[in-house]
Amino acid sequence: FRLALIQLQVSTIKSDNLQRACRMVKEASAKGAKVVALPECFNSPYGTHYFKEYAEKIPGETTQKLSEVAKECNVYLVGGSIPEEDGGKLYNTCTVFGPDGAMLTKHRKIHLFDINVPGKIQFKESETLSPGNTFSMFDTPYCRVGLGICYDMRFAELAQIYGQKGCQLLVYPGAFNLTTGPAHWELLQRGRALDNQVYVATASPARDENASYVAWGHSTVVNPW
């Protein structure tokens, strides 16, 4: 089957981001993709001060659009991630929709990105976000798929458990930055793939040098070899 990774520009205008994402899902489907993945934080700029402003309930505006486009294109859609508000807490959440438009699973980022590389980058998701605590998998006619978001990829045990549960593809929407990206983005994907003999796919936002958080980009697919 054909897998499409959508590396799109994310602006401060949510409606534009949603429109762009849906257009690109349709393009991918037209080129024969059966599973399509959007990047982490695709409907909102990435940054702790943005999460609350852009957060939505699930179901909500963004997930409604994802459901509709998955159904229209007859694809499995891994909806990157969006800031989710639930019970007064915020989560970094990935939803997945089947070809009939039904939500198949919802993954809340388990490992929050708290980092301090002196002189390079400091970022603390836990200032605003709460962690998820569930494994998230879904079945397709092609294979079973396991989900993680960005920093989740650094935790080998998560990939190992997915492998033991029969996943043959792991999808990590992610937004590594210009410090961690060149150092570890590809290395981690290749490590997870090789260790567990699975395919690994990552979808990143496009790089925007003017953003407050600059994503590394380089969306990738790695095979078990």
Q: Do residues 40 and 205 make contact, with C-beta atoms less than 8 angstroms apart?
A: yes
Question: Which among 41, 94, 150, 167 is annotated as catalytic?
Answer: 150
Q: How far apart are CA 67 and CA 94, in angstroms?
A: 13
CA-based nearest residue to 214, from 171, 179, 167, 177: 177
Question: Which among 22, 94, 109, 125 is annotated as catalytic?
Answer: 109
Residue 109 is among the residues annotated as catalytic for this protein: yes
Burial class (CB in 10 A: 0-12, 13-18, 19+), 147: buried
- Report H helices in 31-155: 48-54, 61-73
Q: Do residues 184 and 153 make contact, with C-beta atoms less than 8 angstroms apart?
A: no
Q: Are strands 2-5 and 167-173 parallel, antiparallel or unpaired?
A: unpaired
Q: Are strands 199-203 and 167-173 parallel, antiparallel or unpaired?
A: parallel
Long-range contacts for 113-120 (Cβ within 8 Å, ≥24 apart)?
113/150, 113/151, 115/180, 117/179, 117/180, 120/179
Whether cis (ω within 30° of 0) applies to the bond prior to 59 is: yes
Residue 22 is among the residues annotated as catalytic for this protein: no
Q: Do residues 38 and 77 make contact, with C-beta atoms less than 8 angstroms apart?
A: yes
Residue 167 is among the residues annotated as catalytic for this protein: no
Question: Which among 14, 40, 56, 125 is annotated as catalytic?
Answer: 40
Give the catalytic positions in this structure: 40, 109, 150
